[in-house]
Chain A
Amino acid sequence: MAIQRRPDRGMASVHVVSIVLLAVSLGLLGVSTKAINKVPELGADAAGSVQSFFSSIATFFRDTVFSIKELANLQQQYDQLVKKMDEYSAMQRDYAQVQAENAHLKEQLGFAQNVSTIQTAAQIVARDPSNIYSSYIINKGSSAGVGHNMAVVAFYDGVEGLVGKITEVRRNSSVVIPLFDQRFFVSARFSSSRISGLVNGQGSEDDPLVMRYVSKLNAGEIKKGDVVVTSGLDSIFPPDLAIGRVKEVIVPNYGSSAVIYLEPAVPFAKLEYLFVLQNHPAETQSEQAQSSAAAGQSSTATNVKNSDSAIRGANP
């Protein structure tokens, strides 16, 4: 490592140009964080297409190489599937009857049809190039009916778990901001006790999610392993999508609310396919908000309203 001082050729221009470029970057940043939501769609769409192309090359090689190994497993799987088919054909006979009975009971109980509707299935083709942001690029865009702020879910172990929401829509690709991102907030509640709070991420898929604005008075009811789901009270996510399970409950000495750490319901590192849900109708939420307020859940309702305003502030 040799240290020497070289002639001062054009150093003034290096200083000036670099400082100007830094200022321009700051200016662009100021504009893009306030006025312009994102880059022109044409450039972003081209980027998405190129990423899809690169991803397809990797998929091609992976599929070709692994397909040889797959052949060996196919026979074994085939035998298992034939056995399962026999079981399923028996189950199918009972299914229609159970479904009709279920619909009838729901109607009698006055429940609204509350099943989230899938807009489209999509594959993750790319992730954020940096380690600061944590977005996914999926291969479906406005041409497949994907819209801004639509909820994105994945199925894991038979559970429909929340993954994130659409933040940017291009023609043939979209950007998904995942649940563990620092800028992600979702109104949530415990599936058993119905205690409400606000969940957000810590920036890394390895770190647990954090649930805040849960009254300390209710903290005693929360146990490790309790399931947290979406409350449906914000304007984006349908109710009862699994978010995670309680990992740790911290009740601070000072402050009025507990901090709950959650283990996400879906393993983000293993995600390949996602499902974009249709927008959650706003009417349903206002009805739910009114009914929950009327039910006299005064303390939790206050938390939820606070959460909602926080969500709306964070999700313009």
Chain B
Amino acid sequence: MIATIVSSTALVSLLFLMQTTWLRNGLLLGVVPDLGLLVILWVSFRNEKSVGSFTGFFSGLVCDLFSAAPVGYFAFLYVLPAYALSVLNRFVSLDTIWIPFLAGFFSTLLKAIGSIVLSGIFGPSVLSSYFLDDVHLWVEAGLNAVLAPLVFFLLNMTGSFFVAKRTPSERIGSHRK
């Protein structure tokens, strides 16, 4: 589990680096897709227990390092969708296109709502946030939705590298249930 969290966080960090440098001028209307978020979503979907939430938390801390945001801001924003997807994976099976598409879209909105809540708590002069009437938010949601199936497809090809192995006791427990 720890190895999965570390390797997933490392991959997300690498994607954050790409976002800040190679993709810094954005893909559409100056908006950068959140590739790190898509990896966190996939990890949350494919792993049981809290691997996704931990990956979201540590990746968020890394993102805080790269960003002008105060520490803890992105940690909070990335745990939210990771938590949601960890719960959702009990009910929904991962398909090729539609689930990644919807996950990418609604997770971006969840992140936006989280940022608005945080900005409301700490004050807009302290924390920036998304605006629901800002076209950039919807462009980012659209980009994340469109890119999610591709990112999920590529991650599926990595096999079990980013999936935690279940311990024997967990396997026995699942058979009993």
Contact = CB atoms under 8 A, between A and B. Distances in A.
Interface of A: 1-11, 13-15, 17-18, 21-22, 24-33, 36, 38-39, 43-44, 47, 50-51, 54-55, 58, 124-135, 137, 167-168, 175, 177, 181-183, 203-206, 269, 314
A3 B129 CA distance: 33
Contacts of B162: none
A126 B65 CA distance: 13
Contact of B128 (A2, A13, A27, A183): A183
A38 B54 contact: no
Contacts of B99: 1
B69 A132 contact: yes
B87 A11 contact: yes
Interface in B60-88: 60, 63-76, 79-80, 82-83, 86-87
Given A6-B91, A26-B76, A204-B136, A133 B17 contact: no
Interface string B20-63: 11101100011110101000000000001110011011001001
A58 B19 CA distance: 12
B90 A51 contact: no
B49 A13 contact: yes
B90 A135 contact: no
A25 B131 CA distance: 22
B168 to A, nearest CB: 14
Contacts of A5: 90-91
Interface of B: 16-22, 24-25, 29-32, 34, 36, 48-50, 53-54, 56-57, 60, 63-76, 79-80, 82-83, 86-87, 89-93, 95, 98-99, 115, 118, 122, 124-131, 134, 136-137, 140, 170, 173-174, 177
A80 B170 CA distance: 76
B175 to A, nearest CB: 10
21 contacts: A2-B95, A4-B91, A8-B90, A9-B48, A9-B173, A9-B177, A10-B50, A11-B87, A14-B53, A18-B53, A22-B76, A24-B72, A25-B73, A32-B71, A33-B127, A54-B17, A54-B20, A129-B16, A130-B74, A182-B128, A204-B136
A127 B24 contact: yes
A25 to B, nearest CB: 4
Contacts of A182: 124-125, 128
Given A1-B98, A21-B79, A55-B21, A29 B70 contact: yes
Between A25, A183, A205, the greatest number of chain B beta carbons within 10 A of the residue's beta carbon is seen for A25
B68 to A, nearest CB: 4
Given A2-B92, A130-B34, A33 B126 contact: yes
Contact of A269 (B18, B30, B34, B71): B30
Contact of B75 (A4, A9, A25, A130): A25
Contacts of B122: 29-30, 33
A133 B68 contact: yes
Given A25-B60, A131-B32, A133-B68, 17 more contacts: A2-B92, A8-B177, A9-B173, A17-B49, A18-B79, A21-B54, A22-B83, A24-B75, A29-B122, A47-B65, A54-B17, A131-B31, A175-B68, A183-B128, A203-B131, A204-B30, A269-B30
Contacts of B72: 24-32
B140 A28 contact: no
Contact of A183 (B32, B50, B125): B125
B54 A128 contact: no
Nearest to B31: A131
A132 B70 contact: no
B39 to A, nearest CB: 13
A8 B174 CA distance: 9
B99 to A, nearest CB: 6
A132 B119 CA distance: 11
